[in-house]
Amino acid sequence: MKQFLDDAVNAFICIFGVAVAWALLFKLNMVVFSYFETSKFINWVFIPAGVRLISVLLFGLYGVIGLFFGALVTSYQVGIDSDTAIAVSLISSINPYLAINLAKYCLRVNKLMQGLNAKQLLTISFFAAKFNGLTHNIYFYAYMDRGTVADFMNMFIGDFIGSLIILYAFAFLIKWLRRPIKPEPSRKIANEF
């Protein structure tokens, strides 16, 4: 029973953490990159796209669930109806999972993603941005009469750039955290006798 509770708590922390990370970066993106917004769904730089990748890479299906709830919360903030919010949230959360697993298969990366290099991360980012831009715009075209090739390209570029920004920031953070800590030179205690 204790193991079940520990697992449930860990799952909740992952899901909640991903949802909060998504919401915070979505807000940051609205403030910092509002100039690059082409519609309430499309931005030339969309940094939450990087949260999609990192969340799914680190937490798998828990990341997908967290992304869904994070996207659902932020969907209401931009003033869309509940059906569209659910659809857009599902697309936003499932796409990175599909893209990452397809890329892992094509790149022959092992299940634990060990030895993942920068080129493979770039390829995964490319797949994720392409999946996301394509499926969102198919939905927009089919149900909102809005999706165009130009919208797809804008979303693809925004997701790709946003993913790269977050992935490089995350890589820098990990490198910084792993740096060896240099001990301070020992101070000689002067004999006061």
DSSP state of 34: G
Q: Which of 62, 59, 83, 67 is nearest to 26 (CA)?
A: 67
In a domain, 184, yes or no: no
H-helix or E-strand spanning residue 16: helix 2-32
Reference 44, options 153, 137, 136; nearest CA is 153
| 49 and 169 Cβ atoms separated by less than 8 Å | no
Does 183 map to a domain? Answer: no
The identity of residue 145, as a single letter, is D
Total-model pTM: 0.82
Range of the domain at 57: 2-177
pLDDT value for 189: 52
> What tens-digit pLDDT sequence spans the chain (193 residues)?
788 888 888 999 999 999 999 999 999 988 888 777 777 677 888 889 999 988 998 899 999 999 999 999 998 877 788 898 999 999 999 999 998 888 878 887 766 566 677 888 888 889 889 989 999 989 988 888 777 888 889 999 999 999 988 888 887 887 787 777 666 655 555 555 4
Give the torsion sign (CA, 25, 27, 32, 33).
Answer: positive
Distance CA 97, CA 75 (A): 20
Residue 79 counted as domain residue = yes
How many domains are there within the chain? 1
Q: Is residue 190, in this structure, part of any structural domain at all?
A: no
Joined tokens for residue 81:
């109806």
6 domain residue, yes or no: yes
* Burial tier of 114 (Cβ tally within 10 Å: 0-12, 13-18, 19+): exposed
